[in-house]
Every structure is written in C-alpha cells, then in structure tokens.
Chain A
Amino acid sequence: MLSDQQTLTLVNALDTIIPASSERGMPAAGQIGVAEHVLQGTDFLPAVAAGLSALIDAGFNDLDPPERVAALNDVAGSQPGFLPVLIFQAYQGYYQNAATLEALGLPPRPPHPLGYPVEENDLSLLEPVRAKEKLYREV
C-alpha cells in the first residue's frame, strides 16, 4: 500500500512517462487511472514505493514537466529497480485502458464477445500462384 503522497507522486510520474498529446488526442497516463494498474502489482511494488519516496524527497510534485523528467532520470540512477519497472507497467496499463483504445480509434472494449468484421477475401490474387508448376517433390 502507498501513502497518499506516494500515490499523488505516482500519478504525476505516470503523467510524465506518458504525457497527454492534444495534437494526437491522447490522454496522460495518470489522468486515466493507470496508477490503479500499477498498484495491482505485488513483487515490484516495494521498488516502486522506494522510488516514489526518493521523488518526494526531491520535491517532484512541485517541479515543472521538464524538471520532472530530469528528476525521474536522477532517481533512476540511484534506484535502479524503479524506473524500468514503472515504465513497463505504465505502458502495459495505459494501452489496455478503454480511454486509450478509444483515442487510438479502436472500440473501447475487449475482443470477446463482439469480435471484429473483416473484409471478404479477394481470391483473384491467387491466380499467379495457381498458374505455378507444382512445388512439392514426388516420392
């Protein structure tokens, strides 16, 4: 479990790792609840908590975005188990989030039970292959 301040720092860190893009219509990771995905982890949570504490000590939440990037890199140097894990979890949690899928132009739902429609096969493309000599060796 994280403290309230660690949780706030986590949200801000996620926003720094995957920021919003108004140009591409993409949300920031912390703003769409990716922190919940990170908090489901168990084996890596102590390393994440230690990294967040180091960020708090560096005044992370009061920094502007470029300074937050630098602060994350600084903590990564002193806490080697922190940033790679957080980036992996951020990417995983962000790209399975319904809000992200919708922003990417995908239906914001799992594949099942609706599946996806796919265009009919153009079997005329096989005409050059049908014209080939047989490829297998007779025995």
Chain B
Amino acid sequence: MPSDPVDVLIIGAGAAGAALAWSLSDTRMKIVCLEQGDWMDPAQYPSAGLDWESRGLGDFGLSPNGRGRPADYPINDSESPIKISNFNAVGGSTILYAAHFPRLHPSDFRVKTLDGVADDWPLDYATLAPYYAENDGMMGTAGLAGDPAYPPKQVPLPPVPFGKLGHTLARGFNRLGWHWWPSDSAIATQEHNGRAPCINLGPCITGCAQGAKASTDVTYWPAAVRQGVEVRTCCRVREISVREDGMADGVLYYDAEGNLQEQKAEVVVVACNGVGTPRLLLNSKSRLFPDGLANSSGLVGKNLMFHPYAMVTGVFDERLEGYKGPTGCCLMSQEFYETDPARDFVRGYSFEMLRGRGAVATALAGMSSGEVPWGEGHHDGYAELFDRTAGMVIICEDLPETCNTVTLDPELTDGNGIPSPKITYRLSENSRKMLEHSVARGREVLEASGAKTTIANSPLEPAGWHLMGTARMGRDPSKSVVNEWGRCHDVKNLFIIDGSIFVTAGAVNPTNTIQALSLYIADNIKKNLANLFD
C-alpha cells in the first residue's frame, strides 16, 4: 500500500542520516527516515551487568555475521582480510563506536596534488570547518584546543581523563619527543544538551548506558523528531524506484511485519554506509539503470577503503587502572600522519591509545597466547597481565583502488530475500609497508613508556568498521558518483551522504567528517531548493 508522498526520504538513521534530518527539519518539509533497525534501550546495554564482556562477544559483538540480531544482514567478507563491522539501529554504528572524533586534515583533501596518488576532493577543509564546528556542538566533542597537528579549532568540552594509564603513556611520548594530544572524543565530559556526563564506565563499544557517549539516538534524533521528522523503524528498503524521466520516485521497503510497502518521495537520501549504500544502489537496477542506480560511471561499489588497523599492546610491571575510563578514547598521536618522502610508503597513520583490557579479556588473551595456562600456573600468569596492559590501535590510511569492491553476492541474501553484499579487498603494498612501520613505532613508544614486552596484531582482522569510497564525490561524472554536495550525477533528486562519498580516507576515524559532510550537503539542499534538480 503506497503511503502519502513525502518531501524527503532518508534511508538509514545512523551518523549521516541523523545529522541531515536535523538540519533539514527547520525547513518544515515532510521528512521520513526509514531504518531497518530499532531504537535501542540503554537499560539493556551490557555495562549494567557483570557479564558485559561476554555480551561484547555475543549480541553486542562487532560482526553482523556472528551477532545475528534481527536487523543484521549477512555479508560475504570471505575474500577480505578485514571483516566488516556495522550496526543497524537508530544511531547506526554510533551505538557501538568508541566515539573517536578527530577531523580530517587539510592535506587529506588534496592527496593527488600533494602526494601524487589517489585524487583530490571537490571541496576542502576550510569549506567543511564550520560544519565540523556545528557538529562538535551538537554531538558534544571533548578535547583540547591548541593541537599543533591541526589548524586552530575550538572544542566545546574538556578532554576525557587520561587516568594513570594515559599519564604513563604521555610520559613515554615525551621521552621520544613525539606528538600526542588528548583524543577528540564524542563523549560528554560535562553535562551537555541535557545529557549526563561520562562516569568512566569503560565499555563504550557495547553501547553507553550513561548516555554520555554521543550516539545519534541521544543527540540529533531527539531534536529532529521534536521538529517533526518521522522515523520508521524495522523498515528495510529493498530498492529505490525510478520514473521514466530518470528521477528517483521513492522506495519499496519491508515493514516490521515483513509486508512490502511503497513510499513515494520528492527527494531520496541514501545514508547506509560504505557497504549498505552500494548494496542498495546495485539492488536498484532498472531499464534506465541496468548496472545499478546512479552507476553510469561504473564506480558504485568500487574504491572501497577501510583503515587497515594494527594493535600493539605493552605489558607493564605496575598496575595502570586501565579499566577506568572510556575504553577507546584517551590520547592520540599524529607524529607520523603526513607523508614523509624519507619513508618507503606514502601517506601516514595515527596512534589511538587504548585503556586496559577487562578481566575476561585479559584471561582470554592470555589463553590464546599461552601466557595464562590452565591449572597450576594460571594465577601467576594472570597476575603478570591483569591491569598491566596498555596499548594502541594504529589507523593507517587506505588508498582508493578500483579492485577493492562491494558487489552483490550471487547466492547470499538477507531475511527478506534481498541480495547481500560481497566484499573483495586486498591490502596494498603501501598499506603493508605502512603497517610494518607503524607497528615498529608503536613498540618503540610503549617501551619508552615502560613496557617490558610488547605484542602486535597486524592487520587487525575485525577492524572493518570504517567503510568509505564506494560512491565517491567529484566534479567529473565519468570519475565519480555524486557531485561536491552529494547529489548523484545521474539522478538529480538522489543524494548520498555517508562514508561512501569519501574520495580519500585520511588516517582518522571518519564519523565527524561524515556528519560535517551531511550538514554541508543539507545546507546546500536548503540553499538550492528553488532549483534543486537543475
């Protein structure tokens, strides 16, 4: 049964969809967002139970393939050394993210010009700067002004606490003379916009029961809903339909009861992340778009970029109280961020220092490594490790390559019979060299901090949580899918606003940039309303 047409239909209620919905809500247009997941209940998050670590391996785990929640769809990532991590709910992957919130750097928008690889974005840091600032205010970014790794910027909230662990690592960085700075974190360190401040629970990545971590269900969405935006949950879009004139017409979707519904719309906005978006476009074939919607360039699903991650952990003699504080947000280093021609790779990486492992995680890591045997030596081995580990994840910049793709799996489907995505990805030689360099530097700073031993895991297999590049932006329709303000070259009333539109990946978490772009695109939609489809 078709519903009454709406002005703007947004597909996906994650980081991007929320920001755009809020920004457009002041136009009083009729805006509906379809989200295949549901609203989360913070009272059900694992941190309220003693079994919080176990649940992080179960229903709040990283991989949709292992998690099996009703809103999950299977993903064939067997041909990728990096496995996909996403989350479908109102809030999207911000429900599980660690809330690292750095910006891209000016150079990240000019990689071709500066380093002779990849491409330049059709916009720059200066253009996005006011939208980063707006997003920092809405989400509540904690950090500290004065970072020499960035152009001057303000941060609305004071930084997250370093704790004993962070202070120990800071001294290590200082011994080497390396850059470090308090992490930009989307975590309310003071009361902010009605949200309670962080009380250092620890397990941010299984949902914040306190509401201090800025997932969009507690930031943008309440404001957008108050201004009249309608969010329909448990609604999974099957395809975007088009008219004979080549304009998007609306969508077909399965409602919570599994019934196929139709929603007409004047404007359709896709915000389904770097895997979900190309999947939807490729599933929206028609006579006019036999290779997938908006895909005359052939680039929908191509140039998939992750951030190849490594993890380096140090074991210390002293207890570090690492279980206290936001698990992923503490200190960050961009000492090796910019390209250095003396190195044998281009571009660079960030260190994001991590809090310590929980009690269960320590035991299981020790079980795998053999350092915590069962039986007689168990407690001695455990005592060497528990609350004595600190480390980092290393975020390496990935370069766009057309061989890294999201396509449709020929056999795998979701619970509604919609073809699932297939990931084909390989690490480049540049990434391998970068990982090798970064692990060596990671060991170096942990040893300078006092670590007696270090362990490295590279590349980190479950780290496919940053999904970018698969519907890239650009001015040339033969080399891009959307223009500089997110409008599809082929379909003038179809917009894409998630990480798919990234031209390069940078070496930082993408969420702040995804949302800044969404706000920028929303602003352009509002400015161009009179001739939006020209």
Report A's interface with B, CB cutoff 8 A: 16-19, 21, 23-24, 26, 69, 87-88, 90-92, 94-98, 100-101, 104, 106, 109-123, 125-126, 128-130, 132-139
Q: Find B375's partner among A17, A91, A98 (CB 8 Å cutoff).
A: A17
Closest to A107 in B: B323
Asked whether, in the complex, the Cβ of B379 is within 8 Å of the Cβ of A17, the reply is no
Q: Find A139's partner among B54, B110, B150, B162 (CB 8 Å cutoff).
A: B110
A-B CB proximity, top 9 nearest: A115-B199, A111-B201, A116-B324, A118-B161, A95-B359, A91-B363, A112-B209, A21-B379, A137-B107
Could you tell me the distance in whole angstroms from the C-beta of A96 to the nearest C-beta in chain B? 5
Question: How many angstroms between the C-alpha atoms of A69 and B181 in the bound complex?
Answer: 50
Known interface pairs A19-B376, A19-B378, A26-B379; A139-B149 also in contact (CB < 8 Å): no
Asked whether, in the complex, the Cβ of A111 is within 8 Å of the Cβ of B52, the reply is yes
User: Which residues does chain A contribute within 8 Å of B375, judged by CB atoms?
Assistant: 16-17, 19, 69
Question: How many angstroms between the C-alpha atoms of A119 and B338 in the bound complex?
Answer: 33
Fill in one digit per residue for B110-121: 1 if any A CB lies within 8 Å of its CB, else 0. 100110000000
Q: How many contacts between A and B, using CB within 8 angstroms?
A: 169
Question: How many angstroms between the C-alpha atoms of A98 and B359 in the bound complex?
Answer: 11
User: Which residues does chain B contribute within 8 Å of A118, judged by CB atoms?
Assistant: 161-163, 200, 321, 324-325
Interface residues of B in 366-398 (CB under 8 A from A): 367, 372, 374-376, 378-380, 383, 386-387
User: Which residues does chain B contribute within 8 Å of A94, judged by CB atoms?
Assistant: 363
Known pairs A92-B363, A111-B52, A117-B200 / 17 extra A-B pairs, C-beta < 8 Å: A17-B378, A18-B379, A21-B379, A95-B358, A96-B50, A97-B50, A104-B387, A111-B203, A112-B210, A113-B48, A115-B198, A115-B200, A116-B200, A129-B180, A135-B338, A139-B113, A139-B125
Question: How many angstroms between the C-alpha atoms of A19 and B199 in the bound complex?
Answer: 35
User: Which residues does chain A contribute within 8 Å of B364, judged by CB atoms?
Assistant: 88, 91-92
Question: How many angstroms between the C-alpha atoms of A118 and B355 in the bound complex?
Answer: 12
Asked whether, in the complex, the Cβ of A138 is within 8 Å of the Cβ of B181, the reply is no
Question: How many angstroms between the C-alpha atoms of A136 and B147 in the bound complex?
Answer: 10
User: Which residues does chain A contribute within 8 Å of B54, judged by CB atoms?
Assistant: 92, 96
Does B360 lie at the interface of the complex (its beta carbon under 8 Å from any beta carbon of A)? yes
Interface residues of B in 150-169 (CB under 8 A from A): 150-151, 159, 161-164, 166-167
Can you list 6 A-B contacts (CB < 8 A)? A26-B379, A91-B363, A114-B199, A118-B200, A125-B174, A135-B149
Asked whether, in the complex, the Cβ of A125 is within 8 Å of the Cβ of B201, the reply is no
Question: How many angstroms between the C-alpha atoms of A11 and B374 in the bound complex?
Answer: 15
Asked whether, in the complex, the Cβ of A135 is within 8 Å of the Cβ of B334, the reply is yes
Does B465 lie at the interface of the complex (its beta carbon under 8 Å from any beta carbon of A)? no
Could you tell me the distance in whole angstroms from the C-beta of A42 to the nearest C-beta in chain B? 12
Question: How many angstroms between the C-alpha atoms of A126 and B109 in the bound complex?
Answer: 28
Could you tell me the distance in whole angstroms from the C-beta of B5 to the nearest C-beta in chain A? 43
Known interface pairs A16-B375, A132-B179, A136-B149; A100-B359 also in contact (CB < 8 Å): yes
Q: Find B106's partner among A87, A96, A116, A136 (CB 8 Å cutoff).
A: A136
Does B441 lie at the interface of the complex (its beta carbon under 8 Å from any beta carbon of A)? no
Does B105 lie at the interface of the complex (its beta carbon under 8 Å from any beta carbon of A)? yes
Question: How many angstroms between the C-alpha atoms of A19 and B373 in the bound complex?
Answer: 11
User: Which residues does chain A contribute within 8 Å of B360, judged by CB atoms?
Assistant: 91-92, 95-96
Could you tell me the distance in whole angstroms from the C-beta of B196 to the nearest C-beta in chain A? 10
User: Which residues does chain A contribute within 8 Å of B324, judged by CB atoms?
Assistant: 116-118
Q: Find A135's partner among B209, B321, B337, B367 (CB 8 Å cutoff).
A: B337
Closest to B363 in A: A91
Q: Find A24's partner among B171, B180, B379 (CB 8 Å cutoff).
A: B379
Asked whether, in the complex, the Cβ of B146 is within 8 Å of the Cβ of A130, the reply is yes
Does B292 lie at the interface of the complex (its beta carbon under 8 Å from any beta carbon of A)? no
Closest to A130 in B: B146
User: Which residues does chain A contribute within 8 Å of B110, judged by CB atoms?
Assistant: 139
Question: How many angstroms between the C-alpha atoms of A104 and B387 in the bound complex?
Answer: 10
Question: How many angstroms between the C-alpha atoms of A94 and B52 in the bound complex?
Answer: 13
Question: How many angstroms between the C-alpha atoms of A139 and B124 in the bound complex?
Answer: 9
Closest to A120 in B: B161
Question: How many angstroms between the C-alpha atoms of A12 and B207 in the bound complex?
Answer: 37
